[in-house]
Structures are given as structure tokens and as C-alpha cells.
Chain A
Amino acid sequence: MYQITRAERLTDQIYLFDVVAKRVASSCLPGQFVIVKMDEVGERIPLTICDYNRETGEITIVLQTVGASTMKMARLQVGDSFMDVTGPLGMPSEFTQMPLEEVRQKKFLFVAGGVGSAPVYPQVKWLHEKGIDADVIIGARNKDLIILEEEMEKVAGNLYVTTDDGSYVRKGLVTDVVKDLVENQGKHYDICVAIGPMIMMKFVTLLTKELNIPTIVSLNPIMVDGTGMCGACRVTVGGQVKFACVDGPEFDGHQVNFEEAMKRQQMYKTYEGRAILKLQEGDTHHGGCGYCGGDK
């Protein structure tokens, strides 16, 4: 059993939990995820590790309610437990494995759409702890869907917030901000990390391709085991089939076949009893950026 030590509702559909998961907390790195199974009958649900504390053995996970299983999970309170938490899974973000000297020389731009702030946060924090300040864009459909703004503020170099409807800070899509920074404000970036709904990542990669900025995206296809055993998570990257749970979840955004990935995410939507809510945007860091209506 994995005890919940903090349970917060961030928005209507986004919930944050701190969970005691010692083995995960002691070995995880930015970019990795866990698989959580709430109870005996629950699904195995992949969730990003948003933060971790090696001393207390706690990890922070952020959950967006998109189907029956996640809605059930959202009701858990401090003192309740998840039956199973497995991880860390997937490969750590590439820069955590590179020589620090090399990383220091790069200028990073992070683009977080909706719940995408959750996987982006630990990466920005990791860099910050190494004395590297990254620029961060957070985008959402409206003010109520912006999460982790305060936390991000503390670790980001420059933070740019944007909302589709202009209800907060500025009006526009994340891509508008990227364009503005590069074209009007003379910013130069060596690496862009874009995490959010598939459709947002697709548009960001189209833009950064034009702007010639290498771009990493984090995919969250349907998963079952998360250990490379089932192939449910297969995605096509650079014409090759990859298992996102072991080869990813982060890939070169300019090589990802987003059309296929988006279709595959829909798979269980049409099945009996599963059409409850949009599964389109998976169970983790997606929705709310304004591109997909995944949070409606």
C-alpha cells in the first residue's frame, strides 16, 4: 500500500497527490513516470512524476480526470492509499544524462500545455538546481486551468503565461508565444521541450521545425504494463516502431508520427461503457491547453 500524504484539487479536473513510494522517490529522475493502480479492480494508469523527495520517500503526481478510473481516483484523501505504485518507468530526460558542462551551454525553452506543467516542472527544477535557468511557457484555455504557476515561477528563468481566451495575463496560444519570443524578442533556443496534449505538441513541433529548434516531446499513449511487455504503447518515431514506456516517453518531436499517435489514443473511446469522458487525452499530463477541448 502506498499512502497519500497530500491531496489537493488544483482545478475542476486536475488533482495533485503526494504519495509515499520509497523506491520510486529514491531513484527517479525528471522525464520518468509511474503506473498507479488504485485498488483490486482498478486499471493500471500511467502518471507523470511531478516532484520527488529523496529524504521522505514521497513523490508528487498530478491526475486529470478523464474517465471512470481517474474519477474514482480523484476522490482519494489524505490517509487513503493506492494499492500499487510502480516505477520509475521510462527513460529520464536526455539532459539529465549529459555532461553538465554541455547542458550549461544550452538555452532551454519549455512549453507546457494544461496538465503538461506537471511533467515540465521537475525538469525545470532539476536545471534550476544545477544553476541553469530555462524559459518556460505555460498555456491553457483559461485562467482556471493554469496549474503549478507559483511553483514554476520559483524555478524558471522567465515564465510566460498565456490563455486562449485572454482571461489571464495574455491572450493567445502557446505557439504564438514561441513565435513572439523568437521572432520579435530576439531569443535564441538550443532545445525546446514541449509537453501537453498531442495536438499542441504537434503544432509546437511544426513551428519549431520552421524555427530550426530541436524539440523533445513526451508522449503518453495507452499503456498497460509500462515495462515493454505488451506493445500497447507503440508509437512511430522516424519511421520506426518504439515502445513509449521503455524507449520513451520522450522523443524527438520532429520525428514523431502524431497522426498515428492521436488515432491510437482514441482506441478505447468507442468501446462499450468507455465513452464516459474524453479518453482522447489519456490519463496524465494532457488537456486544458486549449487546442483539443480535452478538458470540456
Chain B
Amino acid sequence: MDVLKKVPVREQDAKVRATNFDEVCLGYNEEEAVEEAGRCINCKNARCIQGCPVAINIPGFIEKVKNGQFEEASKVIGQSSALPAVCGRVCPQESQCEGKCIRGIKGEPISIGKLERFVADWAREHDIKPEPPKEKNGKKVAIIGSGPAGLTCAGDLAKMGYDVTIFEALHKAGGVLVYGIPEFRLPKQGVVQPEIENVKALGVKIETNVVVGRSVTIDELLHEEGFDAVFIGSGAGLPKFMGIPGENANGVFSANEYLTRSNLMKAFDDNYDTPIAVSKKVAVVGGGNVAMDAARTALRLGAEVHIVYRRSEEELPARVEEVHHAKEEGIIFDLLTNPKEILVDENGWVKGMTCVRMELGEPDASGRRRPVEIPGSEFDLELDTVIMSLGTSPNPLISSTTEGLETNKWHCIVADEEKGQTTKEGVYAGGDAVTGAATVILAMGAGKAGAKGIHEYLSNR
């Protein structure tokens, strides 16, 4: 064994998986996990922990894996994270824990994400559940949204003895984990559902089909339904469009719509009633994780898929692993390319897209080199479907119906980072609703901070 290299993880063959929705990565088995754990040198001043937004005791749990004490390992992770099976799969470890790992200086870092995933899967398969608190403190907290921020905040508060209810607008709990991230990356029945069940096992109640701001307002929750505090984890679900001609043609979708149809409504499965576009040639505009997910979903539904992105490969905001998987599966990358207009046939359907080639100029505010059009380089792509994946912003539904709740110019709720305190007393917020679209683990970190803030607030009242 080469200690400089990660123990490789088994994956479904690219050709096979391009035609199914089963999980791409198969994960480590016990031997592989123990072997990989053996590479960790158990640093005293572990840099990996600093890279983890929820500060999991990484060398601590890896040590347990090394000794084959998998249940113990899951308890170590459980102290800091309520959704390890999810995080092990979707966190950008390369820029967090693994990015900091000392092993990474000379060779490959420890495969922390895959080990976390292994431990969480092992615990689930062996039916290890978190224990509900022994004593309740009689205080009620309402959580809005059941994404990673809401679930984490709920779990932490329940562990402290609070009576917690989550209100979720959709018919299923999980937020982006159920409606956005596809099955082949994050199995719903196998992985997400059990983690939600674990949160429920702590005593958390989940009421679905409640759109806060319409079905009930935050003030009503506080003053009529007897909640002592509220945490808003409503995400950043509002899709952006480009504003180019033809964008409302039939066959142009937001990535959110496309993914929701496929993931939440299970349109890919013939047993479900919700339809989804049957496409031959698809362009996905954008280069983030969401774009990769939409592209790989369209591919699995049988289409030829192009990613159209205005900068170069280096700037792709998606995780390296996702780009790599997408390429392996046969997604075509049209980089340094920007759409100008969607071409529409006489019946209102997409028939193509006019694009222009770009080159990179001077760095912009984000530090990335600004793409500029190359004059006269326009060309047409023939297409029947365009999926816009240009990012999302927080939905103003809650902020516009809650007096005293301040938002910034991007509609993000203003909240302090450490405790999630908003401008309204008793109301806390975190996750994408505050930061704009970010990551699962940052949302979880914000959920933890919110729980801490609420606990302090209610303890001192």
C-alpha cells in the first residue's frame, strides 16, 4: 500500500451509470475504511478540524475506525453533525477538511469524506439511532424549512430538551437534499430519509405543507401558537433567469424546475405521474454543482448534454469530483461560451441557442478573470431543451410578511454569524436564507449557531 495515496473508492462504471439513477460512488467497505484510516497520523494540532465548518473531531473518529470501533466512531461524529451520511457524500471536502490535511502536502490527503460516509452508513445499517433527551425543558421552538440548516438546528435544540416543530412548505422534508441533489449522488430512501428519521427520533416534529408567510406568519407562531423562538432556514430557492430573448419558450426550464420534477416528484420513474421533458439535445447554462446535477440528470434521461459556461474550466464553481464524473459520463463542455438568445420555432418551442465565444480579461471583483465577448464569434447550437442554472436567491415570501425582519439588497435575511440573531427579537436565521446559495455543511454550521443563539436567548429570558 502506498501511504501517499488514498485507498481508491469503488464506483459504478461510467458507461453503465450514465443510464441509471443509482448512486455513482459505492463507498468503502470495512477493510478499505480501516486501511484508509490507517493513513491518518492523528495530528496533535489537527488542521483538518479547522477546515470543518462544524468542527467534527476528525482524528478522533478516524482513530476509532482504525480500531474497528465503528459504533464509537459514529458517536464521535454525532457530537458535531446530525447528517453525516449526507455530508460524507456532498461536502466539498477538497476545500475543507481534506484541503487542510497534513498528508495532503506531500501526497493525497486522508479520504475524510469517504470515511465519514462509511461510518454513517455503517451506523444506519446496524440500526444505531441517536438517543432522545431525558428531560424536556418545556420551551417551544419553531423551525422554518427542513433543509440542512433547519434539521441541524432542530436536532441540536431537541437534544437540549426543547420542544421543536419544523414547518416545511413542500410535501417532503429535506430541502435541497430531496428536491435538488439527485438520487445518483444522494439516495433519498436509503440515505436522506433515515437521517431525517434520526432527527425525528430526537423528538422533533415535522409539519409539511405549511408555507410560512401564507399558511401562518412568524408573528402568529410567536404570539398565537405559543412558540418562544423561531429559526428561519428557508434556503435560497428563487431561480434566476438571464433575461435574454426566447427565455420563456417551451423547453426552457430553471434547473430547480428540472431537478424538482426528477428528484422530488420522481418524474424519472414511470410509476410517478409528474412529467418531465423528453429531450434529445440539451444545453445547461452555468457551471456550478446545480448545473452538473441538471446535466447529469438530463443525460440519464437519454439526452446529449452540453454545459455552456462563460469562463474556463479552472473557474467552474462545481466540485472537482462532480466535473470529473460529468466528463466521464459523456457531458460535453462548451467553455468560454455565453448564450445571447434562445431560438424559438413557430409553435413556441426551443429550436436552438445563439452563443458567443468569450475570452478571459482582467480579474473582476471576485478575483476571477472577467470573461469578455469575442466580437463576431456568434454561432448557433441546435437544441430542444435549455436548462438555466444561474444561481438562486432567497425567496422574499417570509421577509415580506414579517415585520421587523431586515434583509439586504440580495434579499438575504440579515443575521449575525455567531448566533444567527436577526433584527427581530426571538427570531434567528441561518443557511442559504442568510448567505445566499452556499453549501450543505455551511447551512448545518449556521443551524448549530442558531441553536446556540436560541438556547442563550431562552435561558436568559
Contact = CB atoms under 8 A, between A and B. Distances in A.
B273 A89 contact: no
B257 A232 contact: yes
B348 A260 contact: yes
B424 interface: no
A283 to B, nearest CB: 12
| Max count, chain A CB within 10 A of own CB: residue among B216, B241, B254 | B254
B170 interface: yes
B450 to A, nearest CB: 22
B248 A260 contact: yes
B214 A87 contact: yes
A232 B239 CA distance: 10
A214 interface: no
B210 interface: yes
Nearest to B270: A273
A24 B215 contact: yes
A266 B349 CA distance: 10
B227 to A, nearest CB: 15
B460 interface: no
Interface in A181-233: 224-225, 227-232
A85 interface: yes
A42 B254 CA distance: 22
A282 to B, nearest CB: 14
A251 B239 CA distance: 21
Interface in B205-228: 208-211, 214-216
B260 A225 contact: yes
Instruction: Give the contact-size bracket for chain B.
Output: 35 or more
Given A227-B237, A229-B237, A264-B348, A41 B248 contact: no
A84 B171 contact: yes
Contacts of B257: 224, 230-232
Nearest to B392: A229
Contacts of B215: 23-24, 27, 86-88
B248 A264 contact: yes
Interface stretch (B15-23, B46-54, B62-70, B274-282): B274-282
19 contacts: A23-B216, A27-B215, A41-B266, A84-B171, A86-B170, A86-B171, A86-B211, A87-B215, A224-B265, A225-B260, A227-B395, A229-B239, A231-B253, A232-B254, A232-B257, A236-B248, A241-B247, A263-B250, A272-B275
Interface of B: 169-171, 179, 208-211, 214-216, 237-239, 241, 243, 247-248, 250-251, 253-254, 256-257, 260-261, 265-266, 271-278, 347-348, 395, 397
